[in-house]
Amino acid sequence: MRLLRFARSPLEIVLLERRSDYRCAGVAYHRDGNPWGHAFNIQAGRMSAFREDVHDFIRWANSEADREDWPAPWAGTTFTEGGPAPRRIFQNYLIDRLAEARREACPGVVLVEADGEAVDMEVRSSGVDVTVRHFSLNSADKGSRGGQSREATVLFADRVVLATGLELREPPYAAEVLDHESFVRNPYSEAGVRKLMTLPPGATVAIVGSVLSAYDSAGLLLRQGHTGKIHLVSRTGTVFRTYPADHEHEVVRLPCPKTLLEPYLDRQEFLARVRSAWEAACSTVVREHPGIHPTVVAERVAKAWEPHLPKAIELIPSAELRWLLDEFGTAIAAFRVGAVEYTMEVIERAMHPADGTVQLVVGKVAGIKPTESGGLTVSVDAGNGTRSIETDLVISHFSRESDYGRVGQPLWKNLLRRGMAVPHGRTGRGLEVDGRGALLGPGGEAVGPLFAVGVLREGDEIVRNGRTGAFTFNLAAIKNHSIAVAAHVIETLEPGGDALAESLAEYYARSSNIKEVERVEFEEAVTLEVRRMATRTRSDREIKDSRLDSCIRAAGELPNLSMDTSRRDRLMRAVVNRAAVERLTDISVTPKQLRRQLGIANS
C-alpha cells in the first residue's frame, strides 16, 4: 500500500504469497483459522493500517464493511475505539484498502498479485533474480503475463522486500506425537479450529502456553460450553492482564534510569538493579500520574524506558543478553501489552474458583506421549517433581522460531548459505539489518537491494530502538517499517537515486549552516511531504505534490553544495522525504499525538 501511494513514476509491484489463503491476512487474521470468537488482543481503535490515520479501521468496520454473512452479535455491533473486534474481518479490511491503493496509484504504478514460494535469490549488478516455485498469477493479473505457471520461475526485481512473517518452531517435546490425532500443532489452521469446535464438551485439554494465543483456544472452547478441565501449562506462570474499559495508549516521560547504565557485572547484580529501578519508576508513575489505571502502570513504564534501553543494552555481553531475553521474554511481553476484556473475561471467570474449569500449571513440558486409550500424557517438570496430565487433546501454541539459523524454509537456508542474510548476532533474533531495513552480510555490509519488514527485524528493534515484547514485530512495528522501506525503495529507484547518497550525507553534515529563513521554507516542504504521504486519493496527492515542487524550487540553495538545478531539486526532495519519514515513524508519541504534531488531526 505504501509503495502504491508513494510512487510517482511507473513501477510494477509483485506481491508474492506462498499460501493463497494467507493473502492480506497471514497466520494472525486469515478467516479459516480465526473463528468469530477470536478477537484482537488490543482495542479495535489501535488496528488501523495507517499510523497517521488512527481511526481508519473503526470507520471501515462501521461504515464500509460488508456484514452480510456476519453472525450475531457482531452483525449489529457499532465498533468503538476501546472495544473489541473479531480478527477475521481484518483480512477484508486489508483487501479493501489494498484495492483502494491500487485504484488511486499514479499512472503506470501497478500491482501484480502472484502465488508461489520464493526459494532462492541471487544478487546481480542490476538487481535480484528471485527463484519462485509454483508461480501463478491471480485471475485479475493474468492478462498482462498470460497466467504462466511452472514448477520454477525466475523473476527479476530491481528491489526485493522480505515480509515473510512468523516462522514455525517444531516443539522438541512433541516429536513423538506431531501426527497424532489428539495433538493440535497449529490451532490457527482450518484443521486445528475444526478439531477444537468438534471436541466433546467434557474432554480434558492441555494447552501448552499461557500467553495471549493460548487464551484464544481456551476462550473458543469455553464460549461453546466446554465443561472439561483445561490446563494452561506455562514455564513461567505468566498471566496477562485485562485492559481497563477506557484504556488508551499513552506515552509518559520518565528520566533515564541511571543505574541501568552502570557496568554489567553478573546476572544477579544486574537483575537487582533492574528491579530497584523498575519499582522506583512505577512509584513515580503512580505518584505523578494518578489518572493512570493501576493495571497499565507497567505498560507505561516499559514504553517510557524504550529510548534509554539501547545504551543499557550496549553494556550487556551478547551471551548474557540472549539469556535475559530467553528467560524473561514472556514476562517482558506481559508488562508491555495486555488484552481486551472480551478475550480475558471468560478465561478469568473460569480460573477464579478453586475447582474452576481452567487451571494454570507452572512448569516446563518435558514430553508428550500417546496413551493406550487414544489420548496423550503430558509430562510437566514443575521444579519439585514431574507431574503427568492425562488429556484427550493437547494444543501446542504457535511457537515461533526467531533464530533464522534454525528456520527450515528453503529461502532462508539459501540466503544464509549465500551470505545474503545473517542471523542477528547480539540477540539471536531476526536478521542483521541497517537503520533503514537493508539486509547486511557477514561483514556488516549491505548485500544488495534487499530489505526486511516485520519480525525479521526483531533483534535490531531491541538493540536499536529499545523495543520489547511483541512490539519488536507487531502491527505498530510493521506500519513504521513499511513507511520507511517503501520511501527508501522509491528514493533509490528515482533517476540517480543511488548517487544521491553521498550528497545527502554531505548535506546533513552541513545542515547546521541553514539560515533561519531557509529553515522555515524547509519546514513547510516537510509538512507538505508528510501530508502527501498520508493522502489516500491520487488527485489530492497530485495537488500536494505540485505544491511541494514549487516549494522546493523556491527554497534557498543548499549550504556549500554546488550542482545543477535538476540534481539540486532531486536532492532537496530526498532530504525532505527523509525528514517526513522520520516524523511519520516517530515512536516517542502515540498515533493521536502524531496527528496533532503533523497538523492532520482534523483532516
Q: Which of 495, 581, 492, 573 is nearest to 533 (CA)?
A: 581
Assess contact for 548 and 576: CB atoms under 8 A.
yes
The predicted structure's pLDDT at residue 233:
94
Q: How far apart are CA 465 and CA 430, in angstroms?
A: 15
94's CB contacts (< 8 A; 6+ apart) are: 24, 25, 29, 49
Per-residue pLDDT band at 213 (split at 50, 70, 90): confident
For helices 318-336 and 267-288, the axis angle rounded to 10 degrees is 30
What's the mean per-residue pLDDT of the chain?
90
264 pLDDT more than 80:
yes
The predicted structure's pLDDT at residue 211:
80
The predicted structure's pLDDT at residue 248:
84
How many of the other CB atoms lie within 10 Å of CB of 315? 14
271's CB contacts (< 8 A; 6+ apart) are: none
212 pLDDT more than 90:
no
Q: What's the alpha-carbon Rg for the chain, to the nearest Å?
A: 25
HSE-up (13 A, CA, CB side) for residue 419: 7
Assess contact for 188 and 480: CB atoms under 8 A.
no
User: 388-425, pLDDT tens digit by residue?
Assistant: 999 999 999 867 899 999 998 999 999 999 999 999 99
274 pLDDT more than 80:
yes
The arithmetic mean of pLDDT across residues 279-304, rounded, is 94
Assess contact for 462 and 316: CB atoms under 8 A.
no
Distances (CA, A) of 16 to 118, 301, 430: 8, 39, 21
Is cis: bond before 73, omega within 30 of 0? yes
> What percentage of the chain carries pLDDT values higher than 70?
92
The arithmetic mean of pLDDT across residues 492-501, rounded, is 68
71 pLDDT more than 80:
yes
Lowest mean pLDDT among 24-28, 145-149, 480-484, 543-547: 145-149
The arithmetic mean of pLDDT across residues 476-485, rounded, is 95
Question: Which one has a higher pLDDT value, 262 or 590?
Answer: 262
The predicted structure's pLDDT at residue 76:
96
Q: How far apart are CA 190 and CA 203, in angstroms?
A: 20
The predicted structure's pLDDT at residue 171:
87
- What percent helix, strand, coil does the chain show, rounded to 5? 45, 15, 40
The arithmetic mean of pLDDT across residues 65-89, rounded, is 95
- Write the DSSP symbol of residue 43: -
The predicted structure's pLDDT at residue 505:
52
User: 156-192, pLDDT tens digit by residue?
Assistant: 999 999 999 999 888 889 999 999 999 999 999 999 9
The predicted structure's pLDDT at residue 463:
96
Distances (CA, A) of 229 to 218, 246, 357, 390, 414: 10, 33, 5, 11, 45
The arithmetic mean of pLDDT across residues 12-20, rounded, is 95
The predicted structure's pLDDT at residue 497:
57
Per-residue pLDDT band at 349 (split at 50, 70, 90): very high
The arithmetic mean of pLDDT across residues 122-129, rounded, is 94
Question: Which one has a higher pLDDT value, 334 or 378?
Answer: 378
The arithmetic mean of pLDDT across residues 197-205, rounded, is 96
Question: Which one has a higher pLDDT value, 114 or 550?
Answer: 114
The arithmetic mean of pLDDT across residues 206-216, rounded, is 88
The predicted structure's pLDDT at residue 504:
61
How many of the other CB atoms lie within 10 Å of CB of 108? 11
> What percentage of the chain carries pLDDT values higher than 90?
71
Question: Which one has a higher pLDDT value, 141 or 526?
Answer: 526
How many of the other CB atoms lie within 10 Å of CB of 429? 25
The grid cell for 276 is 530497584
Question: Which one has a higher pLDDT value, 559 or 84?
Answer: 84
The predicted structure's pLDDT at residue 338:
87
The predicted structure's pLDDT at residue 288:
95
Assess contact for 369 and 176: CB atoms under 8 A.
yes
231 pLDDT more than 80:
yes
